[in-house]
Amino acid sequence: MKVLVINCGASSIKYQVLDSDSGQILQKGKAERVNERKDGHGRALEEIPATIDVSIIEAVGHKVVHGGAKFFDSVIINSEVIDAISRCHESASLHNHANLAGIRTAIEILPNLVHVAVFDTAFHSRMPSRSKNYALPADIVEKYNICRFGFNGISHDFVSRRAANFLQQSLEELRFISCHLGNDASACAIEFGHSVETSMGMTPLEGLVMASRPGDVDPGIVTMLCRELGIGATEHILNRKSGLLGISGLNDMRDIETKAAEGFEPARQAIAIYAHQVRKYIGAYTSVLGGADAILLTGNIGQNSAVIRQRILQHFDYIGLRIDYDKNNDVNVSEQHPVIDISAHNARIRALVVATNEELGIAKETAKLLGGKTIVQPAKPIPIAISGRHAHLDRHTMDILFGTNSELEVFKMISQPGQYASEQTVNLVGPRDRINGVRVLGPLRRNNQIEIARTDEFRLGVDAPIRGSGQVEDSAPIILEGPRGTVNLKEGLICARRHIHMTPSDAQKYGVEDGDEVEVEISGTPRDLTFGDVLIRVSEKYILEMHIDTDEANAAELNSGTTGDLIYQKPDSPAEAILSSRRDRQLD
C-alpha cells in the first residue's frame, strides 16, 4: 500500500510517501521552523500536494505522540477520535496540538483518503500494572490520571521486529532490551513482542539522559527548583536546558565526541554520564526480563556512534554480553542492511545495531489496520464496575440474622442510584468451606439473592447457576450466618450473569434494547478479552455501567473505573460488520 506518512512535530513537519511492503520511499519532504510562521502547521501542510504526486496515495498515516489512557492501538481518524486526542492528557498537549493541526489540515486537503492515527504510546499501553504505576497516593493518581505512558513506542516496536527477522526467530520467543538513542532517548524491555517496562514515564522527561532533558533526577531537585525559580522556568530547564546540552553546552553527539577527544572536560562528562545511565537501565531490564536474547541499539546515536556503543556495552561479561570491538567500529547500517550483529562469537546475549524507520513503522501500521474490509465505527465505551461477592436479603431473613425489625445501616453508597453497601455482613457456609464477612447490600429486597464468583463456588463446595438478577427460583441452597441466627436458604445462591445497566436514552444511543445480548471488548490490559453473552438491562433507574464479578475482572486484569467497548449488537447490524472485520484481521 502507498501511504503518505505525516510526522507533524512542534517545530517541523516531515512527510514521506512510501510503499508499506517494500519500504521504498517514493517521495518525501520536510518543512522546518513551522512554529515561527503564522498558521505554521496548516500553511506548511497545504504546500504538500504541490510537492508530491497525490494520485498514488492510498492512505495517510499520522504519528500521534500521546494516546493517553484511551488509545491502545492505531485507529481510523474521525471527529470523535480527533476530539479524544485533543483531550488525551495535559502533559501531552504541546505534542498532540501539533499532531492535531497536521491531522486537521491533512483531512481538509485530502478528504477522500482514509487517515490513520498511529500512537507513540500504544506499544506500551499493555505493560503490566507493576511497571505502569507509580508509588504515589491512590487518590492523587486517580484524580490526575498519573501513570507511565512511555514513548518512542513506534521505534521500539519496529526495531524489535527487524531484530527478530534478522535472528530468524519468532518475536514470541525473544526478549529484547531496546535502546532508542536519538535526540529523544528511552530504553524498553520487550518480552515476546510486548513492552513490559520502559524508561520514559508519564512524560518523556524520565529515564535516560537526552539531548536537552536530564532523564532521571531526584524529585526533590524539581520541587526545589520550582520553589527557587518558579514552575515555568523549571519546566524550561528540564526540557530544554539539561541533558547533554546542560552538561557540556553542546547537544549534538558528534560535536561532543570531537570536543571530548580534544580534552574538553564537560564533553567527557556528558559522554560518561550518558553511557552510565544507559548501562544502568540495561542492567535493570535484564533483571526485569530474567535475562535477554539481545540488546538493540538504535536512533542516530545508537546507530552511528561506535564510541557510545562501546562505553555502554563494555564490562557486561557477567551477564554473557560481549561485543567484538572491530565489528563495533565497522558498523554501517542502512535500509539494505538494517541490522548488524556486533557481539563476540561466544556471547550469550547478542548486541545488535538496528536502523529504525519510524515512517515505515507508521506506514506498515496503517496498511495493517486497513488490510481487512474496514468499516470501523467509533467505539462505544461502557464503564465497568467489578462486584465483589455480596448478599441481598429479604425482611424475614434479615429478622433472623440480625434481629426482629433490625435495619441495614449505610456503609457507603454504590453507583446504581439508591443502592448502598451496608455495615452488615453475613457468613456463607457451604458443605466444603465457609466465607466470612460477605457484605449485605441495601435496601432489602423481595427475595434473597446471594451473588458469588466461580472461585467462591469451588471454595464453598456448591454449584451455583448463572442467573440474571431476580432469577433465583431453583438456584443453589446456602447457609447464612448472622450475629443473631442462622438461615438455611433453600435457594438464592447464584453466579451473576454479566450485564450492562443503561437508561432508555443510553439504549437508544447504543442501538440496543432491554434483554439484548451483546459483546464487550476490553483492550489495553496485559490480557485483552472480549466478553460474550452480556445482557442489556434498561431502566430509568440505572446509570450506564457493566457489572462483572471478580473472577471475570481478574481474567482481563481489569481494575474498576476502566471501560470496555460495546462492539456487537445483532447479526447484520453495522456493529456486526465491525466485529467481523476485526475477527478477520485477527485471523490474518
- Name the residues that contact ligand ADP, by CB under 6 A: 182-184, 211, 252-254, 299-301, 304-305
Report the residue number, 257 or 457, with the smaller CB distance to ligand ADP: 257
Distance set, CA 164 to CA 126, 271, 294, 302, 414 (Å): 20, 30, 10, 18, 49
- Output the smallest distance, CB 71 to ligand ADP, in A: 22
Cβ atoms of 492 and 448 within 8 Å: the answer is yes
Report the residue number, 216 or 252, with the smaller CB distance to ligand ADP: 252
Report the residue number, 251 or 374, with the smaller CB distance to ligand ADP: 251
Among 284, 291, 316, 281, residue whose Cα is nearest residue 175: 291
Residue 370: partners with Cβ closer than 8 Å, 6 or more residues away: 1, 59, 76, 114, 116
The three-class DSSP label of residue 351 is strand
The 8-class DSSP code of residue 239 comes to: I
Report the residue number, 152 or 366, with the smaller CB distance to ligand ADP: 152
- Output the smallest distance, CB 215 to ligand ADP, in A: 14
Asked about 216 being catalytic, the answer comes back as no
- Output the smallest distance, CB 245 to ligand ADP, in A: 10
Write out the H or E segment, with its range, that includes residue 165: helix 153-167
Looking up cell 520553589, which residue turns up? Answer: 227
- Output the smallest distance, CB 315 to ligand ADP, in A: 21
Report the residue number, 304 or 448, with the smaller CB distance to ligand ADP: 304
Question: Angle, nearest 10°, between helix axes 93-109 and 79-86?
Answer: 160
Distance set, CA 507 to CA 143, 467, 538, 557 (Å): 29, 22, 7, 27
- Output the smallest distance, CB 211 to ligand ADP, in A: 6
Report the residue number, 250 or 520, with the smaller CB distance to ligand ADP: 250
- Output the smallest distance, CB 252 to ligand ADP, in A: 4
Cell of 453: 464468583
Report the residue number, 168 or 332, with the smaller CB distance to ligand ADP: 332
Name the active-site residue from 39, 73, 120, 516.
120
Strand partners of residue 520: 531, 566
Go through 34-48 and write b for each residue having 16 or more CB atoms within 10 A of its CB, e for each that does not: beeeeebbbebbeeb
The pairing of beta strand 486-496 with beta strand 466-467 = parallel
Angle at CA 555, nearest 5°, toward 552 and 558? 80
Identity at 97, one-letter amino acid code? H
Distance separating alpha carbons of residues 135 and 200, to the nearest angstrom:
16
Report the residue number, 125 or 152, with the smaller CB distance to ligand ADP: 152
Cβ atoms of 402 and 426 within 8 Å: the answer is no
- Output the smallest distance, CB 244 to ligand ADP, in A: 7
Among 443, 451, 444, residue whose Cα is nearest residue 420: 443
Cβ atoms of 536 and 528 within 8 Å: the answer is no
- Output the smallest distance, CB 339 to ligand ADP, in A: 16
Cα four-point dihedral sign 302, 303, 306, 309: positive
Using CB atoms, what's the residue nearest to ligand ADP? 182
- Output the smallest distance, CB 166 to ligand ADP, in A: 20
Report the residue number, 120 or 456, with the smaller CB distance to ligand ADP: 120
Cβ atoms of 328 and 309 within 8 Å: the answer is yes
The pairing of beta strand 381-387 with beta strand 545-549 = parallel
- Known catalytic residues are 120
